[in-house]
Amino acid sequence: MRTGVFIVQANEEGLEGVNLHAVELYAANLPHVEKVRNLGVRPRLDPLALAEEIKASGLERVVIAGDSPGFFKPVFTRAMALAGADTDEVRLASFREHGATGMGTPRAESIVACAVYGVPFPLAARPGTTATVPGTLIIGGGVAGIQAALEIADAGKPVYLVERQPTIGGHMAMFDKTFPTLDCAACILTPKMVAVGQHEMIDLMTYSEVEDISGSPGHYKVRVRKKARHVDIEACVACNTCSEVCPRSASSEFDSGIAARKAIYIPFPQAVPNAYVLDEASCLYFESGGEKCGVCAKKCPKECIDLTEKDQIVEFEVGNVVIATGYDVYDATKIERYGYGKFPNVITALEFERITNASGPTGGKIVTKVLRHNKRKKVDEWVLDPEGPPPNRVAIIHCVGSRDAQHNPYCSRVCCMYSLKFAHLVREKLPEATCYEFYIDMRAFGKGYEEFAERIQAEGTYVVRGRTARIVEENGQMVLKGEDIVQDRMVDMPVDLVILAVGLVPARGSDRLAAMLGIARDEDGWFSELDYNSDPTDTERGGVFVAGACQAPKDIPDTVAQASAVAAGVLKSVNTGRGLDSRADLSLSEIEARARSLARV
Amino acid sequence: MAIRVNPKLIDELEVYGAEDVQNCYHCGNCSAVCPFSKEPYIFPRRPMRYLQMGLEDKLKGSLEPWLCYYCGQCSEECPRGAEPGETMMSLRRWLTSKYDFTGISRAFYKSGKVELFTVIGAALLTALGFVLWAVLRGGDINSYDGPNAFLPAASIHIFDWALAGVLLALLLTNCGRMWWFTLGRDKQLRTPFWLYLKKLYLLPLHFVTQKRFATCERKRPWAVHLALVVSYLIMLVLIMFFLDLMWSGPEIDWRVHVFGYIATVGLLGTTIFALRARLKKAEPLYAHSHETDWIFLILLIFAAFTGILQHILHRVGFDAAANVTYIVHLMGVVPMLGLEVPFSKWSHLAYRPLAMYFSAIRAEAKERAEKEAVEPTLAAQPVA
């Protein structure tokens, strides 16, 4: 079948790691390929001219290759029809969809080869199976990791759940409410956390990090560093005596830094495991090299504090690995114009979650920070006081760090909805306050989300289209400047509290993990799935799965759904004893040979 | 009133330099960072919206492009790389071509080649005309001033005034069209005559001081621009009123020449600065250069250099050389004035101050109208 290969580019830079010139040469040498032409960057194509070209070369099949070639399928279909050829013979060689980002030129070439032979790429590049041991490692103990762990463990299969923080729960544990149902986040998550803590099939390793993963699909050797917690999890009854006597404090990670915790502390009362942890970095005993303090160990009624404990290395073998590392929020200090870090009452979304959370430092009261004199440090400090003044005007700024060529180009997906939730919480707790949402586009995409957005608007929140340009201080008052696009006027408004709806970025350490496992990440740093549409939980590496926001920004329902889907994939291999091998290991010639043999059938 | 949409408008603007308008997603960042964007003139986002929607008539009636001085803050902070600053610049080019009824301006902006060849043609025609005229009336090539002068000051003076008259007529017609598009055509707007008188002071004020330009956060472009304007004004006054004093020589007449020197330093300095900045793309204002910008700058620097040269040659007594250089000088100056002032970049010397003037009139007329109407609401009203 006489075939023409047309290469299209989505942008000038092309796909990272793909040498288009090499792909062209490769395609030209494939059997039946009569013509290879690079159409350039986002070409404007004329179907008549294309039809002439198709006719002139007598093409019977056309392959459109490149990053998102589907954009050009209609024009080629029309050209084929005009040329009198079979319109079904327009084949797509989609580099992005089949993982050429990260897998490089040979992958792009094999995608083109499959299209030229008229064989679906996933069919030709289907890896074989390999014997798999039953254990599963889950990295990350947020809601994705918890859900996947419970699904697998409830099926009676062993799970190792490794979490960096001293407790599982992740970001969801910090939230007050979930959207769009306004359910209490803790009420949903805490029972699951407790179930994980008590499950006989789950080996929970908190305050631990995966140091190394080696081996092959079905047999991964894992080395985990269990950081010295200095508190015996089994013996600790969380009586708080140690914290009471501890002289040192640091800012609380769980409270997003807006409150303090002691050097020996429990992240929050419902933590799992429900045990205290000693943070060496802020502890006076460790700072002084063991000469000072140590009072917690002396006062502990259960004598469960061991100041001499060392980090422990644990090694085990698993058949599958689930990545559920989630996200971090965008660093708002990078956007100077919003004055985060400069104005005390410009806060991030996570900070607001803690302020409005009944278990947070203000007991759920929404207040602004006030200037207080710290007698011990002899400086004036902005502090959160539960009795402090509530804000009269609250502005919520959407898309902070998202959809911005200078920061993150992508939409973080959850910010619109959580911002609307914030507006509801503000209006609910402070009926006198006015609340403004400054948005670019309202992305209420899920079940019940649009209704939620309408409800918030109906409640009396002012929803203003137009991104805020900057926060400034005028005569001691914070002033927000922007444009109200619908009303066609400038906004120049005094505000008391500004909440920045910061976007999501891949969790710290994702790069190391990707290198360790040999899986790809996309341009934005999120882990790449095997196939965007049909294999959203698998990766190029056999037995390695992605769940939740580590693959792309996701809300809680989607995260939970994906985690359960991952569990299904894991259980399939554990139950049959055989899992998929790595697609990454398939060579170009193997895929090409398979495509050729499939084409003959 | 029916609104006609020109769906090709956004493509048409591409030749004027606006290439990234379609990237804009209307977050309003640009309008909010702009130091000039105040009600009722909110930009650059609004003109960009008009452009995306193809509202040609609305754009034609916009004064906003002229209120922008291209400090580039909007382009720097644009999250989409839509280059709002460059779009405003392109709109100014486009508006210049719309104000001009002859269509010459449009041809210039659409093709740098057309402008270049016209400039060269005009230069050759100028040279030919002056040489022919001097030879026919029996001028002595070795005499610069005096009764036998190759080109006598009195004749040049008459030529200057004639040229000025033609240019002024062209420019005034264009300004009249600008008034029609922006104020005259708007039937809803009631602009009484006294309002025009009341705001008239704005015209000379903005023309001489470039006061608004100084509002930008970056002050250097304003200083450079002001120096250029003042230098040109000095030169204009000298040539239009004191040409005979400038002409006589070879001894230097300090009463006029001291001003001439100041203006020359100003012209040369600012032009070299602008040329360097455009080559280096030093600031957002200079980052994108249209062909017309280059032609304008080259003509400027050409005129300045040949002017200095003929001045020196005349003072040191090389009258023949001075005469030749003067003709070359005219070859730069005549196309520069004759083509750039009514049809190209230079016309903004009239449009900008006029825009300030018109915008003040329109703003006040609107305000008066609004006072009579109901008070507007503060922000998006909740549905409740």
In sequence order, the 6+-apart residues with CB closer than 8 A to the CB of A157 are A134, A135, A136, A201, A570, A571, A574
Residue range A24-50: mean pLDDT, rounded: 92
Whole-Å CA distances, A280 to A196, A247, A307: 27, 13, 10
B287 vs A509: which has the higher pLDDT: A509
Residue A601 has, within 13 A of its CA and on its CB side, a CA count of 7
Let me know: does A380 contact A389? Beta carbons within 8 Å.
no
Question: Which pLDDT value is given to residue A114?
Answer: 95
**Model confidence at A454: pLDDT above 50:** yes
For A441-453, give the DSSP string: S----STTHHHHH
A438 and A420, same structural domain?
Answer: yes
Residue of B nearest to A405 (CA): B79
Instruction: Indicate left, alpha or beta for A105 from its phi (over 0: left) and psi (-120 to 50: alpha).
Output: alpha
Q: Report yes or no: B55 at the A interface, CB cutoff 8 Å.
A: no
What letter does residue A414 receive in the DSSP assignment? S
- Per-block average pLDDT, block size 10, for chain B (384 residues)? 85 90 91 87 92 92 92 89 93 94 90 90 93 85 79 86 93 94 87 90 88 83 89 90 81 87 92 90 82 89 91 87 90 90 88 93 88 61 48
Instruction: Kindly list the residues from chain A whose CB atom is less than 8 angstroms away from the CB atom of residue B81.
Output: 405
Which among A17, A9, A108, A114 has a CA at the least distance from the CA of A61? A114
- End-to-end, the C-alpha distance of chain A in Å comes to 15
CB contact under 8 A, B28 and A458: no
A236 and A162, same structural domain?
Answer: no
A288 and A317, same structural domain?
Answer: no
Interface ipTM? 0.79
A232 and A293, same structural domain?
Answer: yes
Q: How confident is the model at residue A375 (pLDDT cuts 50, 70, 90)?
A: confident
| A339: closest CA of chain B, how far (Å) | 14
Question: Which pLDDT value is given to residue A308?
Answer: 92
**Model confidence at A162: pLDDT above 90:** yes
Cα B70 to Cα B50: distance, rounded to the nearest angstrom: 19
A109 and A203, same structural domain?
Answer: no
Cα B26 to Cα B79: distance, rounded to the nearest angstrom: 10
**Model confidence at A520: pLDDT above 80:** yes
Question: Which pLDDT value is given to residue B375?
Answer: 56
Q: Where are the alpha helices (DSSP H) in A234-305?
A: 241-245, 284-287, 295-299
A169 and A145, same structural domain?
Answer: yes
Instruction: Kindly list the residues from chain A whose CB atom is less than 8 angstroms away from the CB atom of residue B377.
Output: 487
A185: phi then psi, degrees, rounded to nearest 5 = -60, -40
CB contact under 8 A, B379 and A481: no
Q: Report yes or no: B217 at the A interface, CB cutoff 8 Å.
A: no
- Which tokens hold the place of A545? 């799965």
| B96: closest CA of chain A, how far (Å) | 26
Identity of the residue numbered A531 = D
Query: Of A350-359, A520-529, B308-317, where does the model show the most confidence?
Result: A350-359
Cα A476 to Cα A285: distance, rounded to the nearest angstrom: 43
Whole-Å CA distances, B362 to A60, B188, B204, B320, B376: 64, 11, 18, 56, 18
Residue range A235-263: mean pLDDT, rounded: 94
A471 and A375, same structural domain?
Answer: yes
CB pairs A-B closer than 8 Å: 91
Instruction: Kindly list the residues from chain B whose CB atom is less than 8 angstroms away from the CB atom of residue A485.
Output: 26, 28, 45
Residue range A179-185: mean pLDDT, rounded: 93
| B27: closest CA of chain A, how far (Å) | 5
A483 and A345, same structural domain?
Answer: yes
CB contact under 8 A, A404 and B37: no
- The CATH code of the domain that includes A70 is 3.40.50
Cα A471 to Cα A497: distance, rounded to the nearest angstrom: 11
Long-range contacts of B9-13 (CB under 8 A, 24+ apart): B9/B51, B9/B54, B9/B55, B9/B56, B9/B59, B10/B51, B10/B52, B10/B54, B12/B94, B13/B51, B13/B87, B13/B90, B13/B91, B13/B94
CB contact under 8 A, B42 and A464: no
Q: Can you give the residue range of the structural domain that contains A223?
A: 130-227+311-326+507-582
Q: Which candidate in B29, B46, B381 is best for mutational testing of the A interface (most A CBs within 10 A)?
A: B29
Please tell me which of the candidates B26, B39, B79 has its beta carbon nearest to residue A404.
Answer: B79
Q: How confident is the model at residue A102 (pLDDT cuts 50, 70, 90)?
A: confident
Element (H, E) at A365: none
For A205-216, give the DSSP string: E-SEEEEEEEEE
A474 and A428, same structural domain?
Answer: yes
* Sheet-wide strand order for A312-318: A208-216, A219-226, A312-318
Residue A352 has, within 13 A of its CA and on its CB side, a CA count of 27
Question: In chain A, which residues touch B (CB < 8 A)?
Answer: 337, 399, 403-407, 436, 440-441, 454, 457-470, 481-491
Using DSSP's 3-state secondary structure scheme, residue A225 falls into strand
| B380: closest CA of chain A, how far (Å) | 6
What letter does residue A526 receive in the DSSP assignment? P
- The CATH code of the domain that includes A266 is 3.30.70
Whole-Å CA distances, B349 to A150, B172, B230: 74, 12, 12
A398: phi then psi, degrees, rounded to nearest 5 = -85, 170
Overall residue count recorded for chain B in this entry: 384
Domain count, chain A: 4
Whole-Å CA distances, B328 to A489, B72, B148, B226, B313: 53, 37, 20, 28, 13
Q: Using H for helix, E for strand and C for coil, what is the string for chain B?
A: CCCCCCCCHHHHHHHHCCCCHHHCCCCCHHHHHCCCCECCECCCHHHHHHHHHCCHHHHHCCCHHHHCCCCCHHHHHCCCCCCHHHHHHHHHHHHHHHHCCCCHHHHHHHCHHHHHHHHHHHHHHHHHHHHHHHHHCCCECCCCCCCCECCCHHHHHHHHHHHHHHHHHHHHHHHHHHHHHHHHCCCCCCCCHHHHHHCCCHHHHHHHHCHHHHHCCCCHHHHHHHHHHHHHHHHHHHHHHCHHHHHCCCCCCHHHHHHHHHHHHHHHHHHHHHHHHHHHCCCHHHHCCCHHHHHHHHHHHHHHHHHHHHHHHHHHCCHHHHHHHHHHHHHHHHHHHHHHHHHCHHHHHHHHHHHHHHHHHHHHHHHHHHHHCCCCCCCCCCCC
A294 and A346, same structural domain?
Answer: no
CB contact under 8 A, B80 and A457: no
- Which tokens hold the place of A161? 């759940």
Mean pLDDT, all residues of chain A? 93
Instruction: Kindly list the residues from chain A whose CB atom is less than 8 angstroms away from the CB atom of residue B33.
Output: 337, 469-470
Using DSSP's 3-state secondary structure scheme, residue A551 falls into coil
CB contact under 8 A, A466 and B79: no
A484: phi then psi, degrees, rounded to nearest 5 = -95, 105
Q: What angle do CA A348, A351, A354 make, to 5 degrees?
A: 155
CB contact under 8 A, B380 and A489: no
| A400: closest CA of chain B, how far (Å) | 11
Question: Which pLDDT value is given to residue B384?
Answer: 43
Which among B297, B362, B308, B379 has a CA at the least distance from the CA of B112? B297
Q: State the sign of the Cα–Cα–Cα–Cα dihedral A120, A123, A127, A132.
A: positive
- The tens digit of pLDDT for each residue in A317-349 reads 999 999 999 999 999 999 999 999 999 999 999
Cα B216 to Cα B35: distance, rounded to the nearest angstrom: 6
A283 and A192, same structural domain?
Answer: no
Q: Report yes or no: B375 at the A interface, CB cutoff 8 Å.
A: no
A403 and A290, same structural domain?
Answer: no
- The CATH code of the domain that includes A466 is 3.50.50.60
Q: Report yes or no: B81 at the A interface, CB cutoff 8 Å.
A: yes
The residue written with tokens 């079904």 in the block is: A88
Q: State the sign of the Cα–Cα–Cα–Cα dihedral A149, A153, A154, A155.
A: positive
